[in-house]
Amino acid sequence: MNAPLSSPWPASVTLHSASADSLAVAMAQDIAQHLRLALTDRGQALLSVSGGQSPVAMFEALREQPLDWSRVRVSLVDERCVPASHEASNARLVRAHLLQGAASAAQFTPLVPQEHGRLPSATELAAAADQALQALGPADVLVLGMGADGHTASLFADGQELAQALDLACPQACLPMHLARPPANAPFARVTQTLAQLLRSRQLVLPVVGADKLATLRLALQARNEQLPISCVLHQAQAPVALWVVGSTGEAGPLPVHP
């Protein structure tokens, strides 16, 4: 199903669905088509992706799609402030699962440089990443994730820099993010694209899988709420959002639902 969500839901959001077994491939095919259009229109394409384990299957399906990968640039939505070899590195994940085979011809721009020794501070890393992202320009496709707490990218409700990162007038493409209560499995400072930078993208893609995340999604779709940063992506009129769920009704009851 590819249909606009009914009013009063955000007009920017379009609902897509697939079976659990076919979701990764369906998303990969759709993303690849947007990238092909960008290659035709502009001669090159920019894909920005999120890390974590959720997109791995999609990465592995996307790398098999027929594309002129030599004209595709790949960047990250956010990154943990760890060396590129660290198991928590989003860049490491992307290299292992997306930039393989034909897709290894893509030009990759990480947000944390590959270097040995002590890493610069999150503030210093964000400043360098900001310059790199500004040079890359708007993403043709930007793939987000969402946590059950409503965070997306590294825009967390308890982030010290959240207000600045959500300000649509923020001139920075990337900011550091220090969390008051970092996840136990990833207790790192981060760098993240700002909301303004995310919304410069020509197409946003948001997969939401799991009953807990779907429950959070329903709340986020009701109104903009900075305690649910994903709602700030949904309630805007700048960038189209392709929302992907499992099954025609989702895993936790019918979509859409509005009080």
Confidence bin at 8 (pLDDT 50/70/90): low
For position 117, what pLDDT does the model report? 64
The mean pLDDT value for 228-250 works out to: 89
pTM of the model: 0.93
**DSSP secondary structure letters along 131-168:** HHHHHH-S-SEEE----TTS-BTTB-TTBTTHHHHH-T
Q: Is the pLDDT of residue 243 over 60?
A: yes
pLDDT at position 213 over 60: yes
In angstroms, rounded to a whole number, what is the distance separating the alpha carbons of residues 64 and 61?
6
Per-residue pLDDT band at 15 (split at 50, 70, 90): very high
Q: The domain 2-246: what is its CATH number?
A: 3.40.50.1360
Q: Do the Cβ atoms of 101 and 62 come closer than 8 Å?
A: no
Task: Give the whole-number percent of the chain exceeding pLDDT 90.
Answer: 82
Q: What is the largest distance, in Å, between two alpha-carbon atoms of the chain?
A: 53
Give the pLDDT score at 259.
33
Q: What angle do CA 220, 225, 229 make, to 5 degrees?
A: 75
pLDDT for 183 equals 83
pLDDT of residue 103 exceeding 70, the answer is: yes
Mean pLDDT value of segment 11-26: 93
Over residues 184-201, mean pLDDT = 94
Q: Are strands 190-193 and 204-207 parallel, antiparallel or unpaired?
A: unpaired
What integer best gives the mean pLDDT of the chain? 91
How does pLDDT run across 133-188, given as a tens digit for each residue?
999 999 999 999 999 999 999 999 999 999 999 999 999 999 999 999 888 888 89
Q: Tell which residue, 49, 43, 45, has the closest CA to residue 76.
A: 49
Residue 5 has pLDDT above 70, yes or no: no
For the chain, which residues make up each domain, given as ranges? Answer: 2-246
Q: What local confidence, expressed as pLDDT, does residue 241 receive? A: 97
Per-residue pLDDT for 74 more than 50? Answer: yes
Q: Residue 224 corresponds to which amino acid?
A: R
- Tell me the average pLDDT across 238-246: 95
Q: In this predicted model, what pLDDT tens digit does every residue of 32-73 receive, in sequence order?
A: 999 999 999 999 999 999 998 889 999 999 999 999 999 999
What is the DSSP track for 190-238?
A: EEEE-HHHHTTSS-EEEE--SHHHHHHHHHHHHS--TTSTHHHHHS-SS
Residue 202's closest CA among 138, 122, 126, 114? 138
Give the pLDDT confidence score for residue 113 in this predicted structure: 85
